[in-house]
Amino acid sequence: MTPLRIALTCGLAFAAATSSFAQGTGDYNCILAGRLSDEARWAPRMAGVELLGQDGRAVAAADKQALSGIRQVRLSSPALLSRCDGNGQLALGPDSPGAKGPVPAIGPGTVAVESVSFPKLRRGGEMVELKLTVPAERVTMITR
């Protein structure tokens, strides 16, 4: 295969992946903003994720009431998109990491937050999960 054909094939594969994502074939429209301890403190908060309230101001509080009022998130770098777990307990992952491959992510910028949920961790604490309104043009694939 010539370099041009390889580039064209890769481009078409990327377009198909982002197109199928944008058409809603997956439910990958959540990101994690951080983890709350049992005492409702950030433990840790994700770097590059700034939470914004209804008025557009940054929300730094870690209590559920303040976090439930999040309406936007400003990302300074791409954030991995994942399935939404809601307020249920997180599923167990595999014992060993799999092979690296392309995964969906949302690019930097400000995006609307549909809802905030708090999936429980097995050993105490909760994750802060943001369900986003993901514009198709903001979806990118990164290797993870």
Residue 5 lies in a domain: no
Residue spans of alpha helices (H) in 23-140 = 64-68
Residues with pLDDT less than 70, the chain = 1-26, 89-92
Give CA–CA dist 4/96, Å, rounded: 37
For residue 89, give its domain range: 27-143
Residue 10 lies in a domain: no
Residue 8 lies in a domain: no
Indicate left, alpha or beta for 51 from its phi (over 0: left) and psi (-120 to 50: alpha): beta
pLDDT digits (tens, 9 = 90+) for 90-130: 666 778 888 889 999 999 999 999 999 999 888 889 999 99
From the DSSP assignment, how many helices (H) and strands (E) are in the chain?
2, 10
The pTM assigned to this predicted structure is 0.76
Half-sphere exposure of 75 (CA within 13 A, CB side): 21
Domain tally for the chain? 1
Residue 22 lies in a domain: no
Q: What is the pLDDT of residue 21?
A: 42
Residue 11 lies in a domain: no
Residue 125 lies in a domain: yes
75 closest CA partner among 35, 105, 108, 32: 108
Q: What is the pLDDT of residue 89?
A: 65
